[in-house]
Amino acid sequence: MNKELIINSKGEFFFFEMDEWKKINYTKYNHKYISTEALSLLKDKVLTFTTTIDNKNNIHLIVLTLSGKLLYYLYQQDKWSNALIANFDTKYNIYKNMNIILDNDNVNIIYSYSNLINTNLWTIQHTLYKKKTWGKYNIISFLGHKSNLYFNIDKDSFGTIHLLYNNIQNNNLQINYTFYNPFAKLWN
């Protein structure tokens, strides 16, 4: 079960969790650790979710539902808004490692997926929200096992996204590196 904790600059806590019925619940606590709000965000069953907070105390939540909807939620000025980003084929694909990175007003969603027919072939994909439009980039496709498929991402002060991922080559596990240049809008 996913569980994530967000703390804003006012000292408020937002605890998100996926319950046993595959629903996302969140509880808001004030700076004295007293619950001030608790609710379920959506009625759909959820496969995975991820959260982050920006420097304006806005909470960003990405949700992949069991039916394949990739949803973007924004908590701004004590209100939730949401948008449908895409529809994924969750019947024939596996999705893992959902991540979100913010860069000013840009929202970067990076995740991996594989087709159920060949679960050893994985693709890491980058979905970018910039200037009110969504774009999609295939970063890399590689061989890997779903049991040990990992990657880590981070952003530097120039907005460059750095990606470390593992793959299998000649039955050996290898760690690889690539990066996204936001000025050229390219993965290297």
The structural domains of the chain, with segments of one domain joined by +, span: 46-187
DSSP per-residue string spanning the chain: --EEEEE-TTS-EEEEEE-TTS-EEEEEE-TTS-EEEEEE--SS-EEEEEEEE-TTS-EEEEEEETTSEEEEEEEETTEEEEEEEEE--TTTEEEEEEEEEEETTEEEEEEEEEETTEEEEEEEEEEEEETTEEEEEEEEEEE--GGG--EEEEE-TT--EEEEEEEEETTEEEEEEEEEETTTTEE-
Whether residue 44 has pLDDT greater than 70: yes
CA distance 24 to 49: 8
Contact 67, 75 (CB under 8 A): no
pLDDT at 184 over 70: yes
Average pLDDT on 110-135 reads: 91
- Model's pTM, two decimal places? 0.89
Give the model's pLDDT for residue 41: 87
| pLDDT at residue 1 tops 80 | no
pLDDT confidence band for 108 (50 / 70 / 90): very high
pLDDT by residue (tens digit) across 128-173? 988 888 888 999 998 887 766 789 999 999 999 999 998 878 888 8
State pLDDT tens for residues 54-104. 999 999 999 999 999 999 999 999 999 999 999 999 999 999 999 999 988
